[in-house]
């Protein structure tokens, strides 16, 4: 089976001199849902921003066989890898929800009518059709996350990259998102320490430390190995 994403020897240093990735090797195959774990500042977000060329470091990043070192591949790669950012407010900026979701397809050159049709279909997929004419900034955090996800789904990418998708969501919204993600056929790369989400969705987990992948295994193996599965109880038995 051909990999969807291949990364070899990826290194990246921010312009201010902060080293963020120190040689990352990674492969994603169709059908996988890979969770990225690791302490704050270990390079997870920097890594995922390389997967559709939002950042460009040294080393190989290939998406569906297309090498990102060739800038001509960037538009196709952006269509194949949909990224859901940590903060939906980074993604929602049009006057209405429908226009926001149509932005991606329009940007990828879909004719206007088709772009809006894809946007409506994507809104239906995430259960947000009723909000099509609303202003995105009036939505709740959970609704914003759904709309941002619709924006990603509207172009039918082959890979979904989700950075902390359950942050800011209340438990019912977290559960809804989990059910929605489970139904989506795309391969997924998810940055999250959410135990419920990881246990339900992960086919594999990787642990980042100091800008490198230092371990991989099942989600449960990794969280137990690094002691991230348990929260210490309160002194009075609370």
Q: Which residues bind ligand ADP (CB under 6 A)?
A: 14, 16, 18, 20, 38, 40-46, 208
The distance of closest approach from Cβ of residue 154 to ligand ADP in the complex, given in angstroms and rounded to an integer, is 26
The distance of closest approach from Cβ of residue 12 to ligand ADP in the complex, given in angstroms and rounded to an integer, is 9
Please give the radius of gyration of the chain, using alpha carbons only, rounded to the nearest integer: 18
Chain centroid offset of residue 229 CA: 22
Least Cα distance to 103 among 177, 50, 153, 140 occurs for: 153
Structure tokens at 215: 């371990």
The distance of closest approach from Cβ of residue 44 to ligand ADP in the complex, given in angstroms and rounded to an integer, is 4
Pairwise CA distance, residues 233 & 238, whole Å: 6
The distance of closest approach from Cβ of residue 131 to ligand ADP in the complex, given in angstroms and rounded to an integer, is 30
Pairwise CA distance, residues 118 & 214, whole Å: 40
Q: Which is nearer to ligand ADP, 156 or 216 (CB)?
A: 216
Q: Which is nearer to ligand ADP, 85 or 116 (CB)?
A: 85
Q: Which is nearer to ligand ADP, 156 or 209 (CB)?
A: 209
Pairwise CA distance, residues 96 & 103, whole Å: 11
Q: Which is nearer to ligand ADP, 18 or 140 (CB)?
A: 18
The distance of closest approach from Cβ of residue 134 to ligand ADP in the complex, given in angstroms and rounded to an integer, is 31
Q: Which is nearer to ligand ADP, 88 or 211 (CB)?
A: 211
Q: Which is nearer to ligand ADP, 110 or 219 (CB)?
A: 219
SS3 helix, strand, coil % of the chain, rounded to 5?
A: 40, 25, 40
Q: Which is nearer to ligand ADP, 154 or 190 (CB)?
A: 190
H/E element, 79: helix 74-80
H/E element, 48: helix 44-49
Pairwise CA distance, residues 130 & 3, whole Å: 38
The two most distant CA atoms of the chain are separated, in Å, by: 63
The distance of closest approach from Cβ of residue 24 to ligand ADP in the complex, given in angstroms and rounded to an integer, is 11
The distance of closest approach from Cβ of residue 65 to ligand ADP in the complex, given in angstroms and rounded to an integer, is 26
C-alpha separations of 163 from 94, 130, 193, 212 in Å: 22, 26, 11, 18
């Amino acid at each position: 089976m051909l990999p969807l994403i291949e990364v070899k020897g990826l290194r990246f240093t921010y312009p201010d001199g902060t080293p963020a990735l120190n040689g990352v090797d990674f492969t994603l195959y169709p059908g996988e849902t890979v969770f990225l774990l690791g302490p704050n500042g270990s390079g997870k977000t920097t890594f995922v921003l390389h997967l559709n060329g939002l950042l460009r470091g040294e080393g190989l990043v290939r998406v569906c066989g297309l090498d990102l070192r060739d800038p001509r591949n960037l538009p196709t790669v952006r269509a194949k890898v949909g990224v859901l950012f940590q903060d939906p407010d980074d993604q929602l900026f049009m006057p209405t929800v429908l226009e926001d979701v149509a932005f991606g397809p329009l940007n990828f050159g879909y004719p206007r009518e088709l772009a809006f049709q894809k946007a409506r279909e994507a809104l239906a997929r995430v259960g947000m059709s009723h909000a099509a004419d609303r202003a995105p900034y009036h939505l709740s955090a959970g609704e914003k996350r759904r709309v941002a996800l619709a924006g990603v789904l509207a172009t039918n990418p082959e890979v979904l990259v989700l950075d902390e998708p359950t942050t800011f969501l209340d438990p019912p919204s977290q559960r809804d998102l989990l059910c929605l993600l489970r139904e989506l056929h795309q391969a997924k790369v998810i940055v999250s320490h959410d135990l419920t989400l990881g246990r339900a969705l992960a086919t594999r987990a990787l642990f980042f430390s100091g800008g490198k992948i230092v371990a991989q295994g099942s989600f449960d193996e990794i969280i137990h190995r690094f002691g991230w599965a348990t929260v210490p109880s309160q002194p009075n038995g609370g």
